[in-house]
Amino acid sequence: MIPGPQPGPPCARTELEIEVVTIAPQAASAPDTTVRPWSAGPRWWIWTWVLVIVFGAVALWRSHQVDVPLRDPDGRVFMSRIALSLGILVVLIVLDGAVRARRREGSVRRTWAAIRSRWTPDRVLLAVTGLLAYHLVYSFYRNLKSWNAFRAQHDDALLDTDRWLFFGHSPAVLLHDLFGRDVAPHVFRAIYESFSIMVPISFVAALVLAPRIREGYVFLTSAMWVWILGVGSYYLIPAIGPFDSAPDEFAGLDRTSVTATQAKYMAERAELLLHPGAADSFASIGAFASLHTGFTFLVLLMLRYYGLRRAANVMVVYLVAVMVSTIYLGWHFVLDDVAGLAIAWAAVRLGRLTVYPPGRSVA
């Protein structure tokens, strides 16, 4: 179970200035104290929806500007993802209930009783609407990212910066020389693609395992901020990635599914530029900043926030592996990864402020 903060004054800051919260062992089995969202009590969840509405307004404005409607091609941006999240939510609720029941000589009846006790109608409503809010933000993000293809790209500047930082050398080529070009591409491909599994499990798990769902919302809202700040960085420095700007550096790598994905993304981008009015025209490529790095670092910071230091230490290793994979495979420049770290750092603070506005009750 993920521990949450006790009521009272804010906890001391760590060296990362993240509030690490602890909870007494006996509190782990305490009943949930979720505030009734549509009855008396502080309506802290409103600010999450304000964030969704404002970001949605930005997406609609950009849609009008480029004269391309919001899209969900084949349901893969919104519908399929929210269905996956709801499925993960159900599975984790059942597993959590089984673990709680097992502590009391569990049975199916006790598992169901534990689930009913913890998952009141209000907590269920907050979890489901929270996931809806998250996926609306993600859908707006993906559309804004797609429309960034209409702007001039600045890969050459990022490529020059990489080589300046490494004294005239390509960091990708240095990694190829270090790890090799035959087996390593497949290893780094697996690491890079594991991201798509880690993301939905992480924010749904926060909603399920946090003793108070408001603490789960800190993770969920911070994740929304990653996508919002991330698409802002795409527009700040539009770029495709070194696999496109320096293709010769990656020609010697053993072919993997990443190679096919990169070719697919470039074809989709070309189709959008050629036929922006086509219903299935949708671009998925953007380099600055690396949100693989950003979201992974967010998970690490949230593990520290919840006081799960051992899991956070494991996540450090995974974060380094993800960052190396983004450069090795040509998805990102070094500066992209640095920017991703900064985005995660800011997102956690903004997420906490959104859920716990200064001067308002923490109940």
Strands (E), 242-330: none
Cis peptide leading into residue 289 (ω within 30°): yes
DSSP per-residue string spanning 30-89: SPP----TTSSS--TTHHHHHHHHHHHHHHHHHHHHHT-----GGGTTTHHHHHHHHHHH
List, in order, residues 6 or more apart from 124 with CB less than 8 Å away. none
Give the span between the Cα atoms of 148 and 183, in whole angstroms.
34
Give me the torsion for CA of 76, 302, 209, 95, rounded to 10°. Answer: 60
pLDDT-based confidence at 2, cuts 50/70/90?
very low
pLDDT-based confidence at 43, cuts 50/70/90?
confident
Asked which of 27-31, 155-159, 301-305, 330-334 is least confident by mean pLDDT, the reply is 27-31
Task: Read off the pLDDT of each residue in 111-134 and give the average, rounded to a whole number.
Answer: 93
Residue 252, pLDDT above cutoff 60: yes
Residue 13, pLDDT above cutoff 80: no
Could you tell me the two tokens for 80? 């399929």
Measured from the Cβ of residue 17, the count of other Cβ atoms closer than 10 Å reads 9
Give the span between the Cα atoms of 141 and 188, in whole angstroms.
26
Residue 251, pLDDT above cutoff 70: yes
Instruction: Pick the closest to residue 328 from 193, 186, 195, 175 (CA basis).
Output: 175
Q: What percent of the chain has pLDDT over 70?
A: 86
Task: Read off the pLDDT of each residue in 36-41 and give the average, rounded to a whole number.
Answer: 49
List, in order, residues 6 or more apart from 272 with CB less than 8 Å away. 146, 149, 281, 282, 283
Measured from the Cβ of residue 95, the count of other Cβ atoms closer than 10 Å reads 14
Task: Read off the pLDDT of each residue in 89-104 and give the average, rounded to a whole number.
Answer: 87
